[in-house]
Amino acid sequence: LFRNLWVIGFALCILGVAAGALYIPTFQNCLDAVKEYDFDDSIYTYGCVSGIFQSAFAFGGFIGPTLGGAAVQWIGFEWTSTAIAIVNVIFIVTLLFYYGTKSMRQRSIQRILE
């Protein structure tokens, strides 16, 4: 890939759109989870959730490159990329299993309640 200003700018634009597409639904899910535990639907709750969410996001922005750089120096780029790919596949399988069994769990709960 060519390393010039336009390619880097285009890649950062794609990264910004992707981050926005990931950030908003995740933040909304955090708010929904907090509301399930009877927290107020107020600006204070939104502020607390936003603070925790931003802290976790910033911590990930620090720890990811730190551990990634150490892993590249320790085991090399190829093995680090392979390890990250394996972790991503594990996450995908876990999510598919969770959402695949979620509908079955809901149906069994409805049968019990009927």
> Three-state SS for 1?
coil
Q: Judge if pTM exceeds 0.85.
A: no
Q: What is the pLDDT of residues 82-91, one digit of tens each?
A: 999 999 999 9
Which amino acid, 22? L
Q: What is the pLDDT of residues 68-109, one digit of tens each?
A: 999 999 999 999 999 999 999 999 999 999 888 887 877 877
The structure tokens listed for 101 are 């069994």
**Residue 63 φ then ψ, to 5°:** -75, -30
Contacts of 79 (CB under 8 A, 6+ apart): 71
Q: How far is CA 38 from the centre of its chain?
A: 24
pLDDT of 113 strictly over 80: no
Q: What is the pLDDT of residues 13-64, one digit of tens each?
A: 999 999 888 888 888 889 999 988 889 888 999 999 999 999 998 999 999 9
